[in-house]
Amino acid sequence: MRIAFVNTLFKLAKKDSRIILLTADLGYSVFEEFQEKLPDQFLNVGIAEQNMTGVAAGMAIEGMKPFIYSIVPFATMRNFEQIRNDICYQNLNVKIVGVGAGFSYGPYGHTHHGLEDVAILRPLPNMTIFTPGDPVETSLVTTEAVKMQGPAYIRLGRAGEPVVHTVAPQFKVGKGIVLQKGKKVALIAMSTMLASTIEVAKKLKEKNLTPTIVSIPTIKPFDNELILDIFKSHEYIYSLEEHFAVGGLGSAVAEAVVTSNVSFKKYHMFAAPDKFSKVIGDQRYMRNDNGLSVDQILKKIISDTS
Amino acid sequence: MQDKKLLEVSKKIRRSILEMSYKAQSAHTGGALSCVEILVALYFKTMKVFPKDPYSEKRDRLFFSKAHDAKALYAVLAERGFFEKKLLDGYEMEGGKLPGHSTRHCVPGVEISAGSLGHGLSIAVGSAFAGKLKKSNHKIFAILSDGECDEGSTWEAILFAGHHKLENIITIVDYNKLQGYGITTDVLDLEPFGDKWKSFGWNVISTDGHDFNKLIPAIEKAKNSKGKPTVIIANTIKGLGGVEMHINKVSSQYKPPTKEEIDEILT
């Protein structure tokens, strides 16, 4: 996703000198070409995320289109108040890019995990939150982020996420993408869980279950309409996210449904439980420790539906 | 002899500040009174401003980071003709246009929303960086409180401006030496204050923040800086021109004038 992001931004930045990429000293082996070809549009501010966020606000006041980049916790938590006051309160055209969603940096320990970002950014007025599920969606949201005015956050995985969309889907801000229409079971995936969700669906097909698959590339504004349609037309509905259960995709789904008059049979959130992981390991290992592996998800759905 | 007109304007500003403070029974009066001459020197003498075209691309920008003292900024902007003076009556009042902490574009001329300390300098520095990229001629001014120099984010911005040699930014610290709960040297000593800025790559000018004959030349000198940002450490007195018992006291941060006090000051 990181590569798709930087390639798309590089392409657009070549045509628009107002785009400027700011990093808090990260991006080794990823940003070199951007920096070399567009030196006036690249700025390493040093390891100072609060200042980076304020500086970006100042640049946006002057009509520039800054993108600020760091690992999820440092891009959204260290500088949270600058995001709130300097960017959202002033409704400035700054884009925040967090790399390492969920357990992408699994072995590094919890300081580097990205499990709270959506929850803390969702309450902020003026904020748009993009949660692309694969490199294709990443490219689409990056293009949209350049076009739109106002604050936005782009939540990226790390590297090597598989391409899910073989053809670029229709994309609109605030709209979900239906990848497959099925019956009875619906899987709603956000961000880094999209590829696993496709795997789960494939395995369900072997059991003669064809689920509906939805990707949520924008968690704010949220596609309430699509979610309610899904609840009306399915019996077993699951949300899947590599994020704490509080405040993320599952919460957004629950908020939409509870405040409507739609009734439903079974809804379950697959999300990281309320704990700091005591183990370390790669993303697959960490997901397994947090009940988010393909097999754990599959087992639960099969048990619910049989 | 100081410029008579500037002295008269300052007197009017102080009255406005005290009236707002009394009417809203608001805090943050001492720090508004300590930066009166700084703001008057900028808006009436040294800054390029266009009250009828407040966001002209050519304007010098002022980023007022010590936004809790917004009363002073509002009074000066109104006096300079950015908006009607009667709007000052709405300071911190229900349905009024002037929040206790100044908010971007709440009235013409207010450049940024601030209020949480340690944010304004980064924004100013970002604006200065953009101005340099665009090869613009305007200057960027930032007014900071001494208290907000406790914040780490302020020093991130100082480090950044020094590194990038942002000669187009001029920071003025309203160094009244009193913060929320005490004297700065007791709470968290900033000294040697000027040396700290200097070691971060800034020109440092220390001056009397109430004397136009010192303040104006300092600002003019800072405007001509080459290759370095400049900080003017303006030595001021918190609460100057306000209620006598609160002058140079922590209480000036919190106590609005009483009926008797305001009557005495205004007559």
Are A85 and B123 a contacting pair at CB < 8 A? Answer: no
Query: Where does chain A hold its CATH 3.40.50.920 domain(s)?
Result: 177-305
Q: Closest to B126 (Cβ–Cβ): which among A48, A56, A89?
A: A56
CA distances from B185 to A27, A291, B147, B181, B193 (A): 41, 54, 11, 12, 11
Question: What mean pLDDT is reported for chain A?
Answer: 97
As a whole-number percent, the residues of chain A with pLDDT over 90 amount to 98
Are A61 and B156 a contacting pair at CB < 8 A? Answer: no
> Residue B143 CA to chain centroid, in angstroms?
4
Are B126 and A81 a contacting pair at CB < 8 A? Answer: no
Distance from CA of A83 to the nearest CA of B (A): 11
Least Cα distance to B193 among B210, B208, B177, B181 occurs for: B177
Cis peptide before B192 (omega within 30 of 0): yes
Chain B contact set for A48 (CB, 8 A) = 156, 159-160
Query: Which residues fall within 8 angstroms of residue B45, CB to CB, at 6 or more apart?
Result: B3, B6, B212, B216, B219
Query: Which residues fall within 8 angstroms of residue A287, CB to CB, at 6 or more apart?
Result: A102, A103, A196, A242, A293
Supply the DSSP symbol for A284. Answer: H
pLDDT in tens, A151-167: 999 999 987 899 999 99
Does ipTM top 0.85?
yes
Token pair of A25, please? 């000293």
Token pair of B35, please? 């930066």
Q: Closest to A85 (Cβ–Cβ): which among B116, B124, B129?
A: B116
Chain B contact set for A58 (CB, 8 A) = 63, 122-130
What's the maximum distance between 2 C-alpha atoms anywhere in chain B? 54
Q: List alpha helices for chain B, DSSP H.
A: 4-24, 30-34, 36-41, 70-79, 120-133, 152-163, 184-187, 193-199, 212-223, 259-266
The pLDDT assigned to B267 comes to 82
Res. A250: pLDDT tops 90: yes
Query: Which residues fall within 8 angstroms of residue A303, CB to CB, at 6 or more apart?
Result: none
Query: Which uninterrupted H or E stretch holds B231?
Result: strand B230-235
Query: Where does chain A hold its CATH 3.40.50.970 domain(s)?
Result: 2-156
Least Cα distance to A68 among A96, A41, A47, A92 occurs for: A96
The model's confidence at residue A24, banded by pLDDT at 50, 70 and 90, is very high
Are B123 and A54 a contacting pair at CB < 8 A? Answer: yes
Chain A contact set for B119 (CB, 8 A) = 54, 81-82, 85-86
- The structural architecture, per CATH, of the domain A2-156 is 3-Layer(aba) Sandwich (3.40)
Chain B contact set for A85 (CB, 8 A) = 113-116, 119
The model's confidence at residue A240, banded by pLDDT at 50, 70 and 90, is very high
The pLDDT assigned to A159 comes to 78
Chain A contact set for B132 (CB, 8 A) = none
pLDDT in tens, B48-74: 999 999 999 999 999 999 999 999 999
Token pair of B192, please? 């040697």
> For chain B, which domains are there?
4-266 (3.40.50.970)
Token pair of A159, please? 């590297």
CA distances from B146 to A19, A162, B23, B35, B266 (A): 35, 52, 27, 12, 29
Are A55 and B131 a contacting pair at CB < 8 A? Answer: no
The model's confidence at residue A138, banded by pLDDT at 50, 70 and 90, is very high
The pLDDT assigned to B265 comes to 86
pLDDT in tens, A172-216: 999 999 999 999 999 999 999 999 999 999 999 999 999 999 999
**Residues of chain A contacting B, Cβ within 8 Å:** 40, 43, 45-46, 48, 50-51, 53-64, 66, 81-82, 85-86, 89-90
No. of helices (H) and no. of strands (E), chain A: 12, 12
Note whether B130 contacts A: Cβ–Cβ < 8 A: yes
Q: What is the Cα–Cα distance from B179 to B251, expressed in whole angstroms?
A: 10
Per-residue pLDDT tens, chain B, 267 aa: give them: 889 999 999 999 999 999 999 999 999 999 999 999 999 999 999 999 999 999 999 999 999 999 999 999 999 999 999 999 999 999 999 999 999 999 999 999 999 999 999 999 999 999 999 999 999 999 999 999 999 999 999 999 999 999 999 999 999 999 999 999 999 999 999 999 999 999 999 999 999 999 999 999 999 999 999 999 999 999 999 999 999 999 999 999 999 999 999 999 888
Q: How many CB atoms lie within 10 A of CB A172?
A: 12
| CB-based contact A31:A2 (threshold 8 Å) | no
Query: Which uninterrupted H or E stretch holds A270?
Result: strand A266-272
Using DSSP's 3-state secondary structure scheme, residue A42 falls into: strand
Using DSSP's 3-state secondary structure scheme, residue A126 falls into: coil
Name beta bridge partners: A65: A19
CATH number assigned to the domain covering A177-305: 3.40.50.920
Give me Rg for the CA atoms of chain B: 17
Q: What is the Cα–Cα distance from B20 to B5, expressed in whole angstroms?
A: 23
The mean pLDDT of A25-46, rounded to a whole number, is: 97
The mean pLDDT of A67-76, rounded to a whole number, is: 98
DSSP string, B125-188: HHHHHHHHHTT----EEEEEESGGGGSHHHHHHHHHHHHTT-TTEEEEEEE-SEETTEEHHHHS
